[in-house]
Amino acid sequence: MAIQGRWPRAIFYDSKTTLFDWAGAWNRAARTLLARHGASADPAAFVETWVRQFEALHRRAAFFRYTQVTELAREALMNAYRMHGIDGLPEDVSAFTSLQSEVELFPDTEQALQDQQDLGVKIFIYSDVETRYLDMYVSKFRRFRADFVGTTEQAQVAKPNPRTYRWVLGRTGMEARDVLYCAAPMFDVQGAMSAGMIAAWLRRPEGRLSKETHQAGDLPADFEVESLHDVTRIVERNRQP
The predicted-structure confidence for 21-35, as pLDDT tens digits, reads as follows 988 899 999 999 999
Residue 219's pLDDT band, with cuts at 50, 70 and 90, is confident
Q: How far apart are CA 46 and CA 42, in angstroms?
A: 6
What's the CATH fold of domain 10-21+103-238? Rossmann fold (3.40.50)
Neighbours of 179 (CB within 10 A): 27
Whether residue 116 has pLDDT greater than 80: yes
For CATH 1.10.150, list the domain ranges present in the chain.
Answer: 23-101
Residues of the chain with CATH 3.40.50.1000: 10-21+103-238
The CATH class of the 23-101 domain is mainly alpha
| 136-139, long-range: CB < 8 A, 24+ apart | 136/100, 136/101, 136/103, 137/15, 137/16, 137/19, 137/20, 137/103, 137/105
Give the tens place of pLDDT for each residue, 196-214. 999 999 998 775 665 555 5
